[in-house]
Each structure stands twice: as structure tokens, then as C-alpha cells.
Structure 1
Amino acid sequence: MMKSTREAFGETLLELGKENDKIIGLSADLQDSTKAIYFQKEFPDRFFNVGISEQDLIGISAGISSEGFIPFASSFAAFIATRPYDQIRMLLCYNKLNVKLVATHSGLTVGEDGGSAQCLEDIALMRVLPNMKVFQPCDANETKALLRTITKDIGPCYIRLSRADYPIIFDENKVFTIGQGDILSEGNDVSIIATGFMVSKALEVKDTLEKEGFSIRVVNMSSIKPIDKNLIFDCSKKTKGIITIEEHQSFGGLGAAVLEVLSLNPVPVKVIGVNDAFGQSGKAEELLSHYGLDTSSLTYAIRKFINKVKYGSEG
């Protein structure tokens, strides 16, 4: 079964709105695409479309939050993470306001919208801000669990979602805990730590390499900030190396966060992401292949890394 995380957001925001009248929806004229439109149709008096004005989106959300409400502000990642950055920094993070930023259409899988709309820098931008939490769920069911958890948490957070459909990994009973990763498979050769769509790719790579006799641990790291330091240390102790995979620049994202944790406990680490480049227009799977994030390319790179850390050879 396949389902986009933006669809799960729309469905869950509507459910949460029925349960809690303090929840307010906002959009910068993209509620149809982000699926916040489900909430808008049910609760028109609790929804604000501010137009194509992301700075106003954050400023209005900040004011609503200061009155005790829980605003969910949604837009494309390329817009909500970059255009109102000063407002996010000074209004939300500096004042620790309880605003939930929901960024859909992140990464390369936006596809034909092209490089200007494929945000590959947002994890780095959000992760560096004091008081900001950063999350990227791996499927629709985890998205629902995440949204329920952060509704009860106080403070600003950034939730990175997709346009593309993701394979379902967790069942509907999934519980999300802030700052905690999930071990999806055990192994002792290497650990693959992935986030978002790349978690399903990591599982595909694992299945291929296990047939070749390799033993792969796969970790879903949907809580990027705060990150699960204990689990990362555990991976460094129980496997011979760590690979991180993300649909994001290889600088400043999940890989950088893992390396920061391991700075005092170094092990071989390979960071796989987009290598200092913008995206471009194309079908999602074509783009993943072009940037080395498709299953075949990942399998090749990870096999090579395992052979190097296990046998001292890249053959």
C-alpha cells in the first residue's frame, strides 16, 4: 500500500480539529496541495488563508499562538522554510511559540515542479535554530502518530512531508516518541540510518544485500532534532560502520546530525544525500536515480562501503 504523508497530514489535522477547538489551520494559498483543505472545509471559521505571503503566515501564526491556540501553518517546503526565515527565527524560535510548521512537497520527489520547488536545504536551516524541533516521518501512519504527539508538545516544530506516495511501513498502532528512532531490522555489518522516503529505500537495499550474505541494521530516524543519541551510539558499537541516507543536501541534514553525535566516538560513516546541487525537473524515480538515491545506486554504494569497513577492500 502507498500513501503520501501530506494526505495523512490532511486527514489527521481534521481529526485533531474535531477533538480540540484550540487547533487553528493556516495556509499560504496552498491548502489544496498540502491537504489542509480538509480542515478548512470542516472548520472555515478556524482556518486562515493568508495568500501568497509566507512572512504573514508566520506572523499571524505567532499572534494566534500567543493567545493560547495551536496553529498548524502549512505550505511547500521550498516556501515555508526559506521565505519567512527571519520571522521563524525571531518570532517563533526566540519566543518559543507553540506553532507547528508543516512543510509538504519536500525533496526531489516533488518531481516535475523542478529545482526551484525541490527544497533540499530545509532540514539544515531548521535544525540550526534554537528551540526548533525537526521531524520527517517515513510513512502515512507515522505521520498521524507524529502529529498527535506534537499537538501535546509545547514549542515550535518543523514537520517535513512529501508530495509522493510512500510505502506503508508501520501499522496504525504506531506510537511516536520525540527524540526516539526505530530499529526496523537487526544486523551486525553496518547500520543504515535513514529518514523519510529513504527509509523504504533502505529496507529495499537491506533485502538485496542480505541475499548476498550481508547483515544490515536499518534505523528509521524521523526525529532529527532532538535526535536519538543513544541509538546512534548503539549502532556504532554493534555494527562496523554507519550509512546515512536522506533526500536532502548531504551538508547539514541527518548525516551531519549523526556525525555530530559521533564526534567523540568516531566510527566509519558514509553520508548519502544530494551532493551540493540543486534539483531539476523530472519524474521522481528518474531524479532519485540521477542523484544516486534510487535502490540500485544505493545498493552499489552501500555494498562498496560494507566491503571497505568489513574487509578493507571496495571490491
Structure 2
Amino acid sequence: MKDLEMRQVYTKTLLELAEKDPEIVALEADLASSMGTSKLKEQLGKRYINVGIMEAEEMSAAAGLAVTGFIPFIHTFAPFATRRSFDQVFLSLGYAQNHAVIVGTDPGVTAEMNGGTHMPFEDIALMRVIPNNNIYEVSDPYQFKAILEDAHKAQGLFYIRTIRKKATPLYNEAIDFSKGYCKLKEGTEGTIFASGIMVAEALQAAADLEKQGISVQVIDLFRIKPMNEDIVIEAAKLGPIVTAENHNVIGGLGSAVAEIIVENHPVKMKRIGVKEQFGQVGKLEYLKEVYGLKAVDITKAMLDLLK
């Protein structure tokens, strides 16, 4: 599993689930080659539907299928799964209380050469305002597979944010991901909460701080809604908090953590993320540097809080 690209994890897991459950349908928006879902078309037959470049129609079709008893798994690029088709997601899936799983790929700077129009820094913020929506940002193949399986068994609307290509391995096996977070490093002086591609950066930042005699814990907080409030409050009691996300600092992981902290245990905090900027064309490492999404940015933020 750890050697698979995230798109391969999606296809493999969905095929396994669909073989056991005839109610699963897969919807695609003309991205079969980009996501590697052509195998789904071959094996699912009529249960694979490509709507073309019509994402709003994709959500509406999924709602119709859900009403008739099917379980739709919906894929498209993250800006089109959220920003472009928000009204259909909000009303036809969310308001109607339909069970559907939306997978939005190439989030934030991982859109790379597709540029600003395809670079969502706002998708989590949009999806967070839909009542009872379940939001995840996955960072590892084992984690992605487990969350897809859980979303299949559960009810309601799910939004799963993921890169398409290979992820930095964080877990060596399938563990219990039910709490919505995993503590990857222990620490005594502060906490770094991170999600997606920023988890690896957070671990590097913690290692750099360790060299300076500073001990911080790192937590992969992959379930953004409903968030596990207990771990956030526990971290606030420990010391300063830095959040790191491949998203706008408004409305995403950092905002969600801040909302819990301010109501339960106020503590010094800094949010690492995109600040009042649109996307642009570029390679991943260049974009991470431009938008301040590197380990060095996390390290500086924690040092500033500990002064």
C-alpha cells in the first residue's frame, strides 16, 4: 500500500468495496486518465458514470442516485468539487441528507502546473459551512484507504481532500484512524497540528526545533470536521500551538482549531497557510516556498510563540 500513488489507492479501494456492494457507483468528470479511474469503468460497467466537464451535473446526478439507494463516490479536482458546484453540493447532497463521498484532488499548491484556476485554497472553508458535512484531508495511503472504507459504511456527506500522486509515507500499516488524528511525535513545550502535505513539513520542523533543545509534539489532524475537540484542548493546556495547512488560513484547519481554543482554553497560536493570495503556475517546492509552507516557516512560528 505504501508504494501506491494516492489515485491508485482510490481506484483499488473503490474496486474492492464495489465488488462486495452492488450499490456503489463511481462518478467522474472527464478525469479518468488523471485519476487512473479507467479500471473502474472496465469493471463497474454501468455503475461508472463519466458526466464530462459538468461538475454541477455530477453532484446532481449523484444526489439522484443516492435517493434511489445507491452510494455515489464522486471525483473531480478540488476546486470543481467545491467552488464550481457548491450550490448542488449544499442543497442536493447536504440539505437533502444524502449519503455521498466526494473526493477532491490536487488541493492547494499540489495543483502545480495547472495554475491558479485549478489551485483551491478555499475548498475546506466552503465545505465546513455545510451542516453535518464530514471533512478529511488525508496524508498517507493507509489512511486514505481506511477513510474511504469508513465513509462507505457511514451515512451523510463526506469530503475527502487528497493529492493524486505519491504521498510521503507516515504509517507502516493500517492503524485505528477513528479518532480523526494521529500523534506522530511526542513533545512537552508546544504542538504542531498539520494535515495533508504539511504533516511531513511539520515533522521536519519538530526535528529542527529538537536540535535547538525545544520539544514539540506533532499531530496529524486529518479529520477537520467534526474535529476531535479533546485533543485540541489537551494541546492548548500543554503550550503554544502552530497549525500548518496547504489552504487559506481563513476557514481551514487553523480556523477550526482556533475556534475550539478560544472557547475552551485560549493559548498563543499561529497559523501557517496561504494568506490573501490566489494560486499560480509552478512546481511544488517552489510554490511551498512562495506561500510560506515550508518547515522553516513552521519552525519560525513556534520560536516566535515561545519567546
Using structure 2 for the length normalisation, give the TM-score: 0.95
Partner of 2:166: 165
Give a deviation string over 1:138-194, Cα, whole Å, max 9, x none: 1111001111111101011100011343211012322321x5311111111110000
The 5-angstrom pairing of residues 243-254 of structure 1 reads: 243-254=242-253
**SS of equivalent residue, structure 1 residue 60:** helix
Partner of 1:223: 223
Partner of 2:193: 193
User: Does the 8 Å contact 2:72/2:101 carry over to 1?
Assistant: yes
Give a deviation string over 1:248-306, Cα, whole Å, max 9, x none: 00100000000111122211111110001011111001100111112233333333333
How many Å separate the matches in 1 of 2:31 and 2:13?
A: 17
The 5-angstrom pairing of residues 235-250 of structure 1 reads: 235-238=235-238, 240-250=239-249
How many Å separate the matches in 1 of 2:122 and 2:4?
A: 24
How many Å separate the matches in 1 of 2:249 and 2:136?
A: 17
Identity of aligned residues (%): 36
User: What RMSD, in angstroms, separates the aligned Cα atoms of the two structures?
Assistant: 1.4
CA distance 1:10–1:195, change in 2 (3 Å): same
How many Å separate the matches in 2 of 1:278 and 1:103?
A: 18
Partner of 1:108: 109
Following TM superposition, by how much is the alpha carbon of 1:134 offset from its aligned partner in structure 2, in angstroms? 0.6
The 5-angstrom pairing of residues 60-209 of structure 1 reads: 60-177=61-178, 180-209=180-209
- State the one-letter code of the partner of 1:48: I
**SS of equivalent residue, structure 1 residue 224:** strand
Following TM superposition, by how much is the alpha carbon of 1:49 offset from its aligned partner in structure 2, in angstroms? 0.3
**SS of equivalent residue, structure 1 residue 165:** coil
**SS of equivalent residue, structure 1 residue 160:** strand
Structure 2 unaligned runs (5+)? none
How many Å separate the matches in 1 of 2:202 and 2:3?
A: 16
Give a deviation string over 1:191-225, Cα, whole Å, max 9, x none: 00001111111111111211211101111111000
User: Does the 8 Å contact 1:142/1:175 carry over to 2?
Assistant: no
Following TM superposition, by how much is the alpha carbon of 1:55 offset from its aligned partner in structure 2, in angstroms? 1.1
Partner of 1:311: none
Partner of 1:210: 210
How many Å separate the matches in 1 of 2:261 and 2:210?
A: 26
User: Does the 8 Å contact 1:110/1:164 carry over to 2?
Assistant: no
Partner of 2:259: 260
**SS of equivalent residue, structure 2 residue 84:** coil
* Residues paired across the two proteins, number: 305
**SS of equivalent residue, structure 2 residue 22:** coil
Following TM superposition, by how much is the alpha carbon of 1:2 offset from its aligned partner in structure 2, in angstroms? 6.2
Say if 2:299 is the partner of 1:281: no
How many Å separate the matches in 2 of 1:234 and 1:75?
A: 36
User: Does the 8 Å contact 2:55/2:80 carry over to 1?
Assistant: yes
> Which 10-residue stretch deviates more, 168-177 or 24-33?
168-177
Following TM superposition, by how much is the alpha carbon of 1:109 offset from its aligned partner in structure 2, in angstroms? 1.5
How many Å separate the matches in 2 of 1:212 and 1:296?
A: 13
Say if 2:8 is the partner of 1:7: yes
Structure 1 unaligned runs (5+)? 309-315
How many Å separate the matches in 1 of 2:64 and 2:157?
A: 13
User: Does the 8 Å contact 1:24/1:70 carry over to 2?
Assistant: yes
How many Å separate the matches in 2 of 1:234 and 1:36?
A: 41
Following TM superposition, by how much is the alpha carbon of 1:5 offset from its aligned partner in structure 2, in angstroms? 2.6
User: Does the 8 Å contact 2:143/2:174 carry over to 1?
Assistant: no
Using structure 1 for the length normalisation, give the TM-score: 0.93
User: Does the 8 Å contact 2:240/2:302 carry over to 1?
Assistant: no
User: Does the 8 Å contact 2:9/2:141 carry over to 1?
Assistant: yes
**SS of equivalent residue, structure 1 residue 287:** helix
Following TM superposition, by how much is the alpha carbon of 1:67 offset from its aligned partner in structure 2, in angstroms? 1.2
**SS of equivalent residue, structure 2 residue 304:** helix
